[in-house]
């Protein structure tokens, strides 16, 4: 095997699975926020979302990991860089 082929295989650690969960199921469960944290037997994936939504599903070394969906609005304290800082928030008790 050539070095260029080996490098290409080694750099591919993960793969994004498109349509692993049917779009209708994904949108319905995301709208209701009914994805349960942990292993989902039906779709053979680990859901790491605490807010009940699923976005992209990654395949890493044979393990399917469902990430939370991207929020529509991201909190921004200010548009000025000097006024931006991180502050710890209390987690909701779900």
Q: What percent of the chain has pLDDT over 70?
A: 87
Angle at 21 between CA 20 and CA 27, to 5 degrees: 140
Task: Say how many C-beta atoms besides its own lie within 10 A of residue 42's C-beta.
Answer: 7
**Is the model's pTM score more than 0.75?**
no
pLDDT in tens, 67-77: 999 988 887 88
pLDDT on residue 1: 44
> What is the Cα gyration radius of the chain?
18
Task: Say how many C-beta atoms besides its own lie within 10 A of residue 65's C-beta.
Answer: 15
d(CA 22, CA 44): 13
pLDDT in tens, 35-78: 999 999 999 999 999 899 999 999 999 999 999 999 888 878 88
- For the chain, domain boundaries: 12-72
């Amino acid at each position: 095997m050539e070095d260029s082929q080996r490098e290409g295989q080694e750099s591919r650690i993960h793969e994004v699975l498109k349509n692993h969960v049917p779009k209708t199921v994904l949108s319905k469960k995301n709208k209701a926020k009914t994805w349960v944290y942990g292993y989902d037997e039906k779709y053979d994936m680990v859901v790491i979302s605490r807010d009940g939504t699923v976005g992209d599903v990654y395949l890493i070394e044979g393990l399917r990991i469902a990430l939370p969906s991207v929020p529509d609005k991201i909190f921004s304290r200010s548009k000025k860089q000097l006024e931006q800082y991180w502050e710890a928030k209390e987690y909701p008790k779900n």
